[in-house]
Structure 1
Amino acid sequence: MSDADAETEADAPAEAFLPDDADAVREALVAWYEADHRDFPWRRTDDPYEILVSEVMSQQTQLSRVVDAWEAFLERWPTTADLAAADRADVVGFWSDHSLGYNNRAKYLHEAAGQVESEYGGEFPESPDELSELMGVGPYTANAVASFAFDNGNAVVDTNVKRVLYRAFDVPDDDDTFERVAAELMPEGESRVWNNAIMELGGVACEKTPACDGAGCPWREWCHAYGTGDFTAPDVPTQPDFEGSRRQMRGRVVNVLGASEEIALDELGPKVRVDYAPDGEYGRDWLADLLADLDDDGLVDYDESAGVASLRK
């Protein structure tokens, strides 16, 4: 694609990148998240202080390592008043002892607690713009706190979300376009559950090495990468080892069936593999086994006796 073509694509309306049944896309993701997700303690609270602490600690630190530090920090300084009254050296010392990265984050968190107490009477501001006025709180963190504490945020767009949108809907690698598509996709007034859900998708199903089937990705039916087998992304510049894999073949089957009402095995096979041969290694038996798996997963309807398959509606 030329630079001019890329610029033209990036200028397209946000809805042009989404499937016609965008509501079904939204419902599928929320249902997937609510059925099962990683249980971090900050996902069980809507306290803005507790959420701010988790967001600051999570910057460039694995979430699994943050849990103990987060709990210990809040046990020692359970409110903004407690943190604001603390000796800054103690806060910085805690940060260093728990290997939480740059100590400036501890200093800014301490100052932000002081602002909440002195400028806001101990009550957190609720909008992303107001939260951005707190020391060390950038646009991403402000939006996260607004979303998870007050259900009052915009669509979160981090590296994981960009990867998801790039792969799922073939959104061009352009920050403004990512922002517009993310905003169009997020259900109005549901930033808490939506932002948690789409970040969970990027964290467990659509990582740099994707786990589409293993994590039961709810967007496989619509996903461009799953259909084509190309899992590159802005932060995954080279093609992972999916060429010829079973995961890739499953995606191709779903993609082909999406354009057909019903199709016989010997018509479907060559569209999935160029080396398909009815009686060969990659023939009817191989394809039937693949279709049986997809049928079990609820993605296709496979009629073994008739030898035909269709995409499950």
Structure 2
Amino acid sequence: MTEIEGALDGDTDAVRAALVEWYEDDHRDYPWRRTDDAYEILVSEVMSQQTQLDRVVEAWDAFLDRWPTVDALADADRSEVVAFWSDQRLGYNNRARYLHEAAGQVVDDFGGEFPQTPAELSELMGVGPYTANAVASFAFNNGDAVVDTNVKRVLHRAFDVPDDDAAFERVASDLMPPGESRVWNNAIMELGGVACQKNPRCDEAGCPWREWCDAYQTGDFTAPDVPTQPSFEGSRRQFRGRIIRLLGEHEEMELDALGHRIRVDYAPDGDYGREWLCGLLDDLEADGLVATDDRDGEPVARLER
């Protein structure tokens, strides 16, 4: 008997059935939930790492209109992919570079066919354990139990799982019905995103686990600490994005011209001057996104192609 089966006193099957029925009856209709195409799912997973799902929909549609297949993305100019990413404000631009390189790996190393296991998917550039498992689950129904921030919150509240990664992994795995990773992982993440939010909506969302939930019974809805996303406005990430967009529009730009275009208070010798700008360019160069050259004694920046 597993840990969770003992805690539920034989109700494990009922708990599973209640969640799946709740999810299948009504859930947020994101387009990537209507496909089992591994490429489309990988794009959605990478985009959603730093962007709210409602905002991802438009970007996902536009991305697939432009590069509809893994072969199309692999053949694309990397600078165009990076510029798209920046225009859509999808987070760190190196994710676009990794996604482009991963497409090339699928084409060159796997004959254009996506690998189907979490271990094989983890071989793709920029694909960590969570993303690999998500793609394996949603594309091939071949994944393990997903454990993200929402799932941790659900398990902590519902079954009093301690705030410990190993415990979360163990209980999540025990709960997932064998061979049902696609529907199960979608369902438990939906529960965390719709009902078991930071401010819980148990009754409003019709949480299917209320009769078993420790937090619902006791009124104690504390949860593991949830990291907060740093503010985008005024961040280095915002200015790196502006650099990528401008360099996507121009073949190359002199540093001071670039600085004045990305920040109104740019002054070459000021607090936000060349030293500050070169720091941003160094970050982008380390990610393989930007290169700097010398033109007639004047440094210029361009997108790395």
Shared fold, TM over 0.5:
yes
Trace 1:1-313 onto structure 2 (pairs within 5 A).
13-235=3-225
Matched to 2:87, the amino acid is D
Kept in 2: contact 1:159–1:235 (CA 8 A):
no
TM-score normalised per structure 2: 0.73
CA 19–53 in structure 1, closer or farther in 2 if over 3 Å, else same: farther
1:14 Cα deviation after fit: 4.4
1:63 Cα deviation after fit: 0.2
Local SS of the residue matching 1:129? helix
Q: Distance in 1 between matches of 2:4 and 2:20?
A: 20
RMSD: 1.3
Q: Distance in 2 between matches of 1:204 and 1:118?
A: 40
Aligned length: 226
Kept in 2: contact 1:160–1:207 (CA 8 A):
yes
In structure 1, stretches of 5+ residues that fail to align are 1-11, 238-313
CA 19–173 in structure 1, closer or farther in 2 if over 3 Å, else same: farther
- Which residue in the other structure is 1:268 paired with? none
Structure 1: 4+ residue segments shifted above 2 A: 12-20
Q: Distance in 2 between matches of 1:179 and 1:153?
A: 13
Matched to 2:124, the amino acid is L
User: CA deviation digits over 1:169-192, x for unaligned, max 9?
Assistant: 011111111101000000000000
User: CA deviation digits over 1:66-92, x for unaligned, max 9?
Assistant: 000000000000011100110000000
1:198 Cα deviation after fit: 0.1
1:20 Cα deviation after fit: 2.3
- Which residue in the other structure is 2:280 paired with? none
1:60 Cα deviation after fit: 1.9
1:16 Cα deviation after fit: 3.5
Q: Which has the higher contact order (CA 8 A, sep 6+)?
A: 2
Kept in 2: contact 1:14–1:180 (CA 8 A):
no
Q: Distance in 2 between matches of 1:225 and 1:185?
A: 18
Q: Distance in 2 between matches of 1:236 and 1:101?
A: 19
1:106 Cα deviation after fit: 0.1
Kept in 2: contact 1:17–1:181 (CA 8 A):
no
Q: Distance in 1 between matches of 2:85 and 2:225?
A: 29
1:15 Cα deviation after fit: 3.3
Q: Distance in 2 between matches of 1:19 and 1:211?
A: 26
